[in-house]
A and B are shown apart, each in its own frame.
Chain A
Amino acid sequence: GAVVSQHPSRVICKSGTSVKIECRSLDFQATTMFWYRQFPKQSLMLMATSNEGSKATYEQGVEKDKFLINHASLTLSTLTVTSAHPEDSSFYICSGKTGGYEQYFGPGTRLTVT
């Protein structure tokens, strides 16, 4: 199956700082990548859809100025959490879509804001 990597796997940052998370499709080109957030014992909630070379589409309630998404190439999308606060602590997961309908997910990034 298609492989997606994320970096870092865990990050701890202080309140008010910014954190960048990278999502890479390793063995396929992903014209579309998705960013999700998952709280403990909850399901995945879509934050935004990222298309290569164009602006991301954000879901209702997700602040685009706080969660900056850049999909600069067919294999790389980045999510930057700006001015992070403790309530932003969560598990962030990206996925990439191949030519079909399936989405393949990365291993996730655990963000803790202190």
Chain B
Amino acid sequence: EDQVTQSPEALRLQEGESSSLNCSYTVSGLRGLFWYRQDPGKGPEFLFTLYSAGEEKEKERLKATLTKKESFLHITAPKPEDSATYLCAVQAVGRNSGNTPLVFGKGTRLSVIA
């Protein structure tokens, strides 16, 4: 069974204090690993897709990395507006190309204090 575990469950940072969020996964065959940001009462906002171990992607203060067992979302010098829940999801390779369901982790609730 495909599984995604995110840690920590919650993280409180001072503005400017860099840190990393972890996403550990087990999947029969990885098609892609996805990072989303979700603000309270809103739908998830797409951030990154990673397809293979060693791949890295960056967007502003965020950088996502991938190994065969886990992904990290590094946040550099965070600002209060980065406060949100960050969700990780994996999609397995399946018979129906692209339509195997995303399996989500429970997310990390990030709070950045000014």
Contacts and interface: CB of A to CB of B under 8 A. Distances in A.
Interface of A: 1, 4, 6, 32, 34, 41-46, 49, 51, 59, 91, 93, 95, 97, 100-108, 110
6 contacts: A32-B99, A34-B102, A59-B101, A103-B46, A105-B45, A105-B46
B46 A102 contact: yes
Contacts of B49: 100-102
Nearest to A9: B41
Given A101-B91, A105-B36, A49 B99 contact: yes
Contact of B105 (A43, A102, A106): A43
Given A101-B91, A108-B41, A44 B31 contact: no
B87 A101 contact: no
Interface size class, chain B: 20 to 34
Interface string B79-114: 000000001000100000011011011110000000
A102 B35 CA distance: 10
Interface of B: 31-32, 34, 36, 41-46, 49, 87, 91, 98-99, 101-102, 104-107
A104 B104 contact: no
A105 B44 contact: yes
Nearest to A104: B46
A108 B42 contact: yes
Given A43-B106, A101-B91, A49 B46 contact: no
User: Which of A34, A91, A101 has the most B CB atoms < 10 Å from its CB?
Assistant: A101
Nearest to A93: B43
A44 B91 contact: no
Given A1-B46, A6-B43, A103-B46, 12 more contacts: A32-B98, A42-B106, A43-B105, A43-B106, A44-B44, A44-B87, A93-B44, A95-B43, A97-B98, A102-B49, A103-B34, A110-B41
Contacts of B104: 43-45
Nearest to A59: B101
Contacts of B87: 43-44
Of listed A1, A42, A107, residue having the most chain B CB within 10 A: A107
B31 A101 contact: yes
